[in-house]
Amino acid sequence: MFLNRSEQYALELVLFLRNHPEQRHARLNKVAEELDLSFHFLGKIAQTLVKSGLLVSVRGPKGGFGLAHPGRKITQLEVIKAVNGNKSLTRCVLRPKECDSENPCPLHSTWDGILCSVQKTLNDSPVGES
């Protein structure tokens, strides 16, 4: 499984916010600069995470983005699903447009098992904790 750029940015942002609790609300320009990410694309991802309820956005001079639930364990699976639903975790690696349970490719059963295992691991793995 490979994460797309949206999922990578989302995980980077949530991880940054978890690792900097002293910054109640981080400014995206500072986050983008520190992580060497596109500011505009990071902004789109941040808004998606706000809509999903994982982040909050505060306007004004002391505003920025922060975790919606500081004490809550946000899992890697929650972040990935907030950005792309299940797309990265369910698509076939061999024939993504053609393969499904009714028309399986030769690797379907192997990858189906792998993706189920990956989903479980990501669901059991809070962002920023091993």
pLDDT in tens, 9-64: 999 999 999 988 877 889 999 999 999 999 999 999 999 999 999 999 999 888 89
Residue 128 lies in a domain: no
Domain hosting 68: range is 5-123
- List the structure tokens of 35: 């992580």
39-43, 69-73, 76-80, 108-112: which has the minimum mean pLDDT? 69-73
Residue 55 lies in a domain: yes
CA gap 75, 41 in Å, rounded: 22
Biggest CA–CA distance in the chain, Å, is 56
The CATH number for 82's domain is 1.10.10.10
Residue 20 lies in a domain: yes
Residue 92 lies in a domain: yes
pTM above 0.85, yes or no: no
Q: Is the CB of residue 118 less than 8 Å from the CB of residue 86?
A: no
pLDDT at 129 over 90: no
- List the structure tokens of 94: 């061999």
Residue 64 lies in a domain: yes
Q: How many domains does the chain have?
A: 1
Closest CA to 55 of 64, 114, 86: 64
Helix (H) or strand (E) holding 89: helix 87-90
Residue 130 lies in a domain: no
Residue 129 lies in a domain: no
The pLDDT assigned to 70 comes to 63
Question: Tokens 């520190």 appear where?
Answer: 34
